[in-house]
Amino acid sequence: MAVLSSAPLQFVASIPPVTRAFTAATIIASLIYYWLWWFSGQEFSVPYLVLVPGSSLFYPWTFVTSAFVETSVFELLFTLLLIPASLRYLERLWGAVETLKFVVVTIGVSNIIAFGLNWLEFLVLRNPAFLSSYWYHGQMALQIGVLVAFTQLIPEHQVQLFGVLRARVKTLPMAYVTLSTVMCIIGFQCPWIVIQFGWLVSWVWLRFYKKNVDAVGGIPTYGDRSETFNLISWFPPFMHTPIGVLGNTVYSVANRFHLIPGAGSDIESGGYTQVPGGARAEAERRRAMALKALDQRLASGASTPAGRPANGGPSTPSVPRPPSANGEANQAEATAENTTGDEEPR
Protein backbone atom coordinates (compact mmCIF):
# COMPACT_ATOMS: atom_id res chain seq x y z
CA MET A 1 0.00 0.00 0.00
CA ALA A 2 2.87 2.35 0.77
CA VAL A 3 4.28 1.76 -2.70
CA LEU A 4 0.92 2.45 -4.33
CA SER A 5 0.38 5.62 -2.35
CA SER A 6 3.87 6.99 -3.03
CA ALA A 7 3.78 6.40 -6.80
CA PRO A 8 1.41 9.31 -7.63
CA LEU A 9 3.39 11.61 -5.35
CA GLN A 10 6.63 10.68 -7.07
CA PHE A 11 5.06 11.35 -10.46
CA VAL A 12 3.80 14.78 -9.36
CA ALA A 13 7.20 15.60 -7.86
CA SER A 14 8.90 14.74 -11.16
CA ILE A 15 6.88 17.40 -13.02
CA PRO A 16 8.74 20.73 -13.39
CA PRO A 17 7.42 23.51 -11.11
CA VAL A 18 5.88 25.84 -13.71
CA THR A 19 4.06 22.97 -15.43
CA ARG A 20 2.83 21.62 -12.11
CA ALA A 21 1.59 25.02 -10.89
CA PHE A 22 -0.05 25.89 -14.23
CA THR A 23 -1.89 22.57 -14.41
CA ALA A 24 -3.11 22.88 -10.82
CA ALA A 25 -4.30 26.46 -11.43
CA THR A 26 -6.22 25.36 -14.53
CA ILE A 27 -8.02 22.58 -12.66
CA ILE A 28 -8.82 24.73 -9.61
CA ALA A 29 -10.00 27.80 -11.57
CA SER A 30 -12.21 25.72 -13.85
CA LEU A 31 -13.80 23.91 -10.89
CA ILE A 32 -14.42 27.25 -9.15
CA TYR A 33 -16.11 28.53 -12.30
CA TYR A 34 -18.36 25.46 -12.47
CA TRP A 35 -19.24 25.83 -8.80
CA LEU A 36 -20.05 29.57 -9.04
CA TRP A 37 -22.04 29.04 -12.21
CA TRP A 38 -24.12 26.32 -10.57
CA PHE A 39 -24.88 28.18 -7.34
CA SER A 40 -24.62 31.89 -8.21
CA GLY A 41 -25.32 32.20 -11.92
CA GLN A 42 -23.63 34.04 -14.74
CA GLU A 43 -23.73 37.52 -13.20
CA PHE A 44 -21.35 36.56 -10.40
CA SER A 45 -19.04 34.02 -12.00
CA VAL A 46 -18.26 35.47 -15.43
CA PRO A 47 -16.85 38.98 -14.78
CA TYR A 48 -14.46 37.81 -12.05
CA LEU A 49 -12.99 34.85 -13.92
CA VAL A 50 -13.16 35.34 -17.70
CA LEU A 51 -12.21 38.25 -19.93
CA VAL A 52 -15.25 40.37 -20.81
CA PRO A 53 -14.24 43.49 -22.81
CA GLY A 54 -16.94 45.64 -21.22
CA SER A 55 -15.93 44.95 -17.61
CA SER A 56 -12.36 43.64 -17.54
CA LEU A 57 -10.92 47.12 -16.99
CA PHE A 58 -12.31 46.79 -13.47
CA TYR A 59 -10.92 43.23 -13.14
CA PRO A 60 -7.48 43.47 -14.81
CA TRP A 61 -6.30 40.11 -13.50
CA THR A 62 -8.63 38.42 -15.98
CA PHE A 63 -6.25 39.30 -18.84
CA VAL A 64 -4.08 36.41 -17.64
CA THR A 65 -6.21 34.33 -15.26
CA SER A 66 -9.00 33.86 -17.82
CA ALA A 67 -6.72 31.30 -19.46
CA PHE A 68 -7.12 29.05 -16.41
CA VAL A 69 -10.89 28.82 -16.94
CA GLU A 70 -12.27 26.23 -19.33
CA THR A 71 -16.02 26.70 -19.46
CA SER A 72 -16.84 23.12 -20.48
CA VAL A 73 -15.63 19.73 -19.35
CA PHE A 74 -14.64 18.83 -22.92
CA GLU A 75 -12.42 21.92 -23.21
CA LEU A 76 -10.85 21.14 -19.84
CA LEU A 77 -10.04 17.55 -20.82
CA PHE A 78 -8.55 18.64 -24.16
CA THR A 79 -6.38 21.25 -22.42
CA LEU A 80 -5.16 18.79 -19.80
CA LEU A 81 -4.31 16.33 -22.57
CA LEU A 82 -2.18 18.79 -24.54
CA ILE A 83 -0.79 21.61 -22.40
CA PRO A 84 0.85 19.88 -19.38
CA ALA A 85 2.86 17.47 -21.55
CA SER A 86 3.90 20.32 -23.88
CA LEU A 87 4.94 22.65 -21.07
CA ARG A 88 6.86 19.85 -19.39
CA TYR A 89 8.87 19.31 -22.57
CA LEU A 90 9.55 23.03 -23.04
CA GLU A 91 10.42 23.62 -19.38
CA ARG A 92 13.07 20.92 -19.45
CA LEU A 93 14.69 22.67 -22.44
CA TRP A 94 14.20 26.32 -21.53
CA GLY A 95 14.06 26.34 -17.76
CA ALA A 96 11.30 27.58 -15.47
CA VAL A 97 11.83 31.32 -15.97
CA GLU A 98 11.76 31.34 -19.76
CA THR A 99 8.79 28.96 -19.84
CA LEU A 100 6.84 31.17 -17.44
CA LYS A 101 7.60 34.28 -19.49
CA PHE A 102 6.51 32.51 -22.67
CA VAL A 103 3.20 31.46 -21.10
CA VAL A 104 2.41 34.90 -19.63
CA VAL A 105 3.35 36.81 -22.79
CA THR A 106 1.46 34.49 -25.16
CA ILE A 107 -1.73 34.54 -23.09
CA GLY A 108 -1.61 38.13 -21.81
CA VAL A 109 -0.71 39.91 -25.05
CA SER A 110 -3.19 37.82 -27.07
CA ASN A 111 -5.99 38.77 -24.67
CA ILE A 112 -4.99 42.44 -24.77
CA ILE A 113 -5.18 42.41 -28.59
CA ALA A 114 -8.59 40.70 -28.46
CA PHE A 115 -9.77 43.26 -25.89
CA GLY A 116 -8.66 46.15 -28.10
CA LEU A 117 -10.24 44.62 -31.18
CA ASN A 118 -13.62 44.30 -29.47
CA TRP A 119 -13.55 47.90 -28.33
CA LEU A 120 -12.64 49.00 -31.87
CA GLU A 121 -15.54 46.98 -33.28
CA PHE A 122 -17.86 48.56 -30.73
CA LEU A 123 -16.73 52.11 -31.60
CA VAL A 124 -17.16 51.48 -35.33
CA LEU A 125 -20.36 49.39 -35.37
CA ARG A 126 -21.97 50.69 -32.16
CA ASN A 127 -23.04 47.19 -31.19
CA PRO A 128 -22.91 46.66 -27.39
CA ALA A 129 -22.72 42.88 -27.90
CA PHE A 130 -19.00 43.24 -28.61
CA LEU A 131 -18.48 44.38 -25.01
CA SER A 132 -20.90 42.20 -23.08
CA SER A 133 -21.47 38.97 -25.03
CA TYR A 134 -17.86 38.08 -25.83
CA TRP A 135 -16.12 36.03 -23.14
CA TYR A 136 -12.50 35.15 -23.77
CA HIS A 137 -11.34 32.16 -21.79
CA GLY A 138 -9.30 28.99 -22.07
CA GLN A 139 -5.89 28.23 -23.50
CA MET A 140 -6.34 28.38 -27.27
CA ALA A 141 -3.64 31.06 -27.50
CA LEU A 142 -1.23 28.90 -25.50
CA GLN A 143 -2.10 25.82 -27.56
CA ILE A 144 -1.05 27.51 -30.78
CA GLY A 145 1.94 28.96 -28.93
CA VAL A 146 3.36 25.58 -27.99
CA LEU A 147 2.84 24.38 -31.57
CA VAL A 148 4.91 27.32 -32.79
CA ALA A 149 7.59 26.44 -30.23
CA PHE A 150 7.66 22.83 -31.41
CA THR A 151 7.94 24.06 -35.01
CA GLN A 152 11.07 25.91 -33.96
CA LEU A 153 12.56 23.01 -32.03
CA ILE A 154 11.46 19.82 -33.81
CA PRO A 155 9.89 20.82 -37.15
CA GLU A 156 10.41 17.50 -38.93
CA HIS A 157 8.87 15.24 -36.29
CA GLN A 158 5.75 13.36 -37.25
CA VAL A 159 2.83 13.09 -34.87
CA GLN A 160 -0.27 10.93 -35.09
CA LEU A 161 -3.61 12.69 -34.68
CA PHE A 162 -6.58 10.78 -33.29
CA GLY A 163 -4.78 7.53 -34.06
CA VAL A 164 -5.33 7.96 -37.81
CA LEU A 165 -3.77 11.07 -39.34
CA ARG A 166 -0.03 11.62 -39.44
CA ALA A 167 1.44 15.07 -39.90
CA ARG A 168 4.71 16.89 -39.43
CA VAL A 169 4.93 19.26 -36.50
CA LYS A 170 5.68 22.25 -38.71
CA THR A 171 2.31 21.87 -40.50
CA LEU A 172 0.18 21.94 -37.35
CA PRO A 173 0.28 25.67 -36.44
CA MET A 174 -1.07 26.93 -39.75
CA ALA A 175 -3.68 24.17 -39.80
CA TYR A 176 -4.91 25.45 -36.42
CA VAL A 177 -4.82 29.05 -37.68
CA THR A 178 -6.84 28.01 -40.74
CA LEU A 179 -9.45 26.41 -38.48
CA SER A 180 -9.58 29.64 -36.48
CA THR A 181 -10.10 31.67 -39.66
CA VAL A 182 -12.98 29.46 -40.79
CA MET A 183 -14.67 29.66 -37.37
CA CYS A 184 -14.35 33.45 -37.33
CA ILE A 185 -15.81 33.75 -40.83
CA ILE A 186 -18.91 31.73 -39.92
CA GLY A 187 -19.51 33.91 -36.84
CA PHE A 188 -17.57 32.42 -33.92
CA GLN A 189 -15.06 35.19 -33.37
CA CYS A 190 -14.86 34.58 -29.65
CA PRO A 191 -12.75 32.81 -28.53
CA TRP A 192 -11.40 31.40 -31.81
CA ILE A 193 -9.70 34.59 -32.93
CA VAL A 194 -7.20 34.41 -30.07
CA ILE A 195 -5.58 31.50 -31.95
CA GLN A 196 -4.43 33.94 -34.61
CA PHE A 197 -3.17 36.40 -32.02
CA GLY A 198 -1.44 33.61 -30.09
CA TRP A 199 0.35 32.43 -33.23
CA LEU A 200 1.67 35.91 -34.02
CA VAL A 201 2.62 36.78 -30.43
CA SER A 202 4.41 33.49 -29.78
CA TRP A 203 6.34 33.72 -33.06
CA VAL A 204 7.44 37.31 -32.35
CA TRP A 205 8.55 36.32 -28.85
CA LEU A 206 10.53 33.30 -30.01
CA ARG A 207 11.95 35.13 -33.04
CA PHE A 208 13.19 38.28 -31.28
CA TYR A 209 12.78 38.33 -27.50
CA LYS A 210 13.27 34.93 -25.90
CA LYS A 211 16.55 34.76 -24.03
CA ASN A 212 18.46 31.68 -25.10
CA VAL A 213 19.59 29.39 -22.31
CA ASP A 214 22.73 28.22 -24.12
CA ALA A 215 24.64 31.48 -24.34
CA VAL A 216 27.65 31.52 -26.66
CA GLY A 217 30.86 32.68 -25.02
CA GLY A 218 29.00 33.81 -21.91
CA ILE A 219 27.09 36.47 -23.90
CA PRO A 220 23.28 35.98 -23.84
CA THR A 221 21.50 35.90 -27.18
CA TYR A 222 17.89 36.63 -27.97
CA GLY A 223 15.50 34.98 -30.35
CA ASP A 224 16.08 32.82 -33.38
CA ARG A 225 16.95 34.77 -36.54
CA SER A 226 17.58 31.72 -38.71
CA GLU A 227 16.16 31.68 -42.23
CA THR A 228 14.02 28.62 -41.62
CA PHE A 229 12.07 30.42 -38.86
CA ASN A 230 11.36 33.71 -40.64
CA LEU A 231 7.90 35.10 -41.23
CA ILE A 232 7.46 34.10 -44.87
CA SER A 233 8.22 30.45 -44.05
CA TRP A 234 4.70 30.20 -42.60
CA PHE A 235 2.99 31.16 -45.86
CA PRO A 236 2.73 29.66 -49.36
CA PRO A 237 5.19 30.94 -52.01
CA PHE A 238 2.74 33.26 -53.79
CA MET A 239 2.40 35.31 -50.57
CA HIS A 240 6.13 35.63 -49.85
CA THR A 241 6.59 38.98 -51.62
CA PRO A 242 3.83 41.02 -49.91
CA ILE A 243 4.42 39.37 -46.54
CA GLY A 244 8.16 39.97 -46.86
CA VAL A 245 7.66 43.67 -47.66
CA LEU A 246 5.29 44.11 -44.74
CA GLY A 247 7.50 42.20 -42.32
CA ASN A 248 10.65 44.09 -43.34
CA THR A 249 8.87 47.41 -42.95
CA VAL A 250 7.61 46.60 -39.45
CA TYR A 251 11.03 45.23 -38.48
CA SER A 252 12.80 48.40 -39.69
CA VAL A 253 10.45 50.64 -37.70
CA ALA A 254 10.79 48.51 -34.55
CA ASN A 255 14.56 48.40 -34.94
CA ARG A 256 14.73 52.15 -35.40
CA PHE A 257 12.97 52.68 -32.07
CA HIS A 258 15.17 50.04 -30.38
CA LEU A 259 12.23 47.76 -29.63
CA ILE A 260 14.13 44.60 -30.61
CA PRO A 261 17.10 43.21 -28.65
CA GLY A 262 20.44 42.83 -30.39
CA ALA A 263 20.85 39.61 -32.33
CA GLY A 264 24.49 39.00 -31.43
CA SER A 265 27.65 38.68 -33.52
CA ASP A 266 26.60 35.45 -35.25
CA ILE A 267 23.51 37.02 -36.76
CA GLU A 268 25.10 40.33 -37.62
CA SER A 269 27.77 38.55 -39.62
CA GLY A 270 25.16 36.50 -41.45
CA GLY A 271 26.26 33.23 -39.89
CA TYR A 272 24.19 30.37 -38.60
CA THR A 273 22.82 30.77 -35.07
CA GLN A 274 22.24 27.65 -33.03
CA VAL A 275 18.65 27.09 -32.04
CA PRO A 276 18.02 26.60 -28.32
CA GLY A 277 17.03 23.03 -27.59
CA GLY A 278 20.21 21.02 -27.91
CA ALA A 279 21.91 18.98 -30.59
CA ARG A 280 18.62 17.49 -31.81
CA ALA A 281 17.22 20.81 -33.00
CA GLU A 282 20.67 21.83 -34.24
CA ALA A 283 20.94 18.75 -36.47
CA GLU A 284 17.46 19.11 -37.90
CA ARG A 285 17.98 22.78 -38.67
CA ARG A 286 21.34 22.16 -40.34
CA ARG A 287 19.80 19.34 -42.33
CA ALA A 288 17.01 21.60 -43.60
CA MET A 289 19.47 24.30 -44.61
CA ALA A 290 21.75 21.81 -46.36
CA LEU A 291 18.85 20.34 -48.33
CA LYS A 292 17.70 23.79 -49.37
CA ALA A 293 21.20 24.69 -50.56
CA LEU A 294 21.39 21.42 -52.50
CA ASP A 295 18.02 22.07 -54.17
CA GLN A 296 19.17 25.52 -55.29
CA ARG A 297 22.43 24.08 -56.63
CA LEU A 298 20.64 21.34 -58.56
CA ALA A 299 18.11 23.84 -59.93
CA SER A 300 20.86 26.15 -61.20
CA GLY A 301 22.64 23.15 -62.74
CA ALA A 302 19.48 21.96 -64.49
CA SER A 303 19.00 25.37 -66.14
CA THR A 304 22.35 25.00 -68.01
CA PRO A 305 22.18 22.81 -71.21
CA ALA A 306 24.02 19.52 -70.89
CA GLY A 307 27.49 19.49 -72.46
CA ARG A 308 27.68 23.32 -72.73
CA PRO A 309 29.27 25.48 -70.02
CA ALA A 310 27.38 28.45 -68.62
CA ASN A 311 29.96 31.00 -69.94
CA GLY A 312 29.32 30.08 -73.55
CA GLY A 313 32.69 28.35 -74.11
CA PRO A 314 33.28 25.30 -76.28
CA SER A 315 31.20 22.25 -75.68
CA THR A 316 32.60 19.48 -73.54
CA PRO A 317 31.24 16.02 -72.93
CA SER A 318 28.91 15.90 -69.95
CA VAL A 319 30.27 14.02 -66.99
CA PRO A 320 28.46 12.70 -63.96
CA ARG A 321 28.33 14.98 -60.93
CA PRO A 322 31.00 13.92 -58.42
CA PRO A 323 29.77 12.29 -55.25
CA SER A 324 30.94 15.26 -53.17
CA ALA A 325 28.11 17.38 -54.58
CA ASN A 326 25.66 15.56 -52.38
CA GLY A 327 28.01 15.25 -49.44
CA GLU A 328 26.63 18.23 -47.55
CA ALA A 329 23.04 16.99 -47.54
CA ASN A 330 24.00 13.35 -46.87
CA GLN A 331 26.19 14.35 -43.96
CA ALA A 332 23.43 16.56 -42.53
CA GLU A 333 20.87 13.76 -42.86
CA ALA A 334 23.18 11.26 -41.20
CA THR A 335 23.88 13.67 -38.34
CA ALA A 336 20.15 14.31 -37.85
CA GLU A 337 19.33 10.59 -37.80
CA ASN A 338 22.09 9.76 -35.35
CA THR A 339 21.26 12.69 -33.09
CA THR A 340 17.49 12.82 -33.11
CA GLY A 341 16.30 9.21 -32.97
CA ASP A 342 12.56 8.58 -32.92
CA GLU A 343 11.54 10.23 -29.68
CA GLU A 344 8.74 12.75 -29.69
CA PRO A 345 7.84 15.45 -27.13
CA ARG A 346 5.89 14.17 -24.21
Asked whether residue 101 is assigned to any structural domain, the reply reads: yes
Residue 51 phi, psi dihedral angles, 5° rounding: -85, 110
Asked whether residue 247 is assigned to any structural domain, the reply reads: no
* Closest to 214 measured CA to CA, from 265, 152, 278: 278
Does residue 175 come out as left (phi exceeding 0), alpha (psi in the -120 to 50 range) or beta? alpha
Interatomic CA distance for residues 194 and 113, integer angstroms: 8
Interatomic CA distance for residues 152 and 285, integer angstroms: 9
Interatomic CA distance for residues 163 and 26, integer angstroms: 26
The residues, any chain, with a CB within 8 Å of residue 303's CB and separated by 6 or more, are: none
Asked whether residue 61 is assigned to any structural domain, the reply reads: yes
Asked whether residue 203 is assigned to any structural domain, the reply reads: yes
Asked whether residue 199 is assigned to any structural domain, the reply reads: yes
Interatomic CA distance for residues 245 and 311, integer angstroms: 34
Domain of residue 126, residue span: 14-209
pLDDT (tens, 9 = 90+) of the chain, 346 residues, equals 444 456 667 767 778 899 999 999 999 999 988 888 787 765 655 777 889 898 888 888 889 889 999 988 899 999 999 999 999 999 998 989 999 999 999 999 999 999 999 999 999 998 888 888 888 988 999 999 999 999 999 888 888 766 677 888 888 999 999 999 999 999 888 889 999 999 999 999 999 999 886 555 557 788 888 888 888 889 888 888 899 899 889 989 988 888 887 654 443 333 334 444 444 455 556 666 667 677 777 777 665 554 444 444 444 444 444 444 444 445 444 444 444 444 444 3
Asked whether residue 40 is assigned to any structural domain, the reply reads: yes
Q: What is the pLDDT of residue 5?
A: 52
Asked whether residue 71 is assigned to any structural domain, the reply reads: yes
Q: Which helix (H) or strand (E) holds 161?
A: strand 158-161
Count of structural domains within the chain: 1
Q: Which residues pair with 168 in a beta bridge?
A: 158
pTM beyond cutoff 0.75: no
Q: What is the pLDDT of residue 275?
A: 44
Which amino acid appears at position 158 of this protein? Q
Are 232 and 248 spatial neighbours (Cβ–Cβ below 8 Å)?
no
* Closest to 207 measured CA to CA, from 194, 224, 193, 192: 224
Asked whether residue 291 is assigned to any structural domain, the reply reads: no
Q: What angle do CA 59, 108, 263 make, to 5 degrees?
A: 150
Which amino acid appears at position 150 of this protein? F
CATH number at residue 182: 1.20.1540.10
Q: What is the pLDDT of residue 213?
A: 62
215: helix, strand or coil: coil
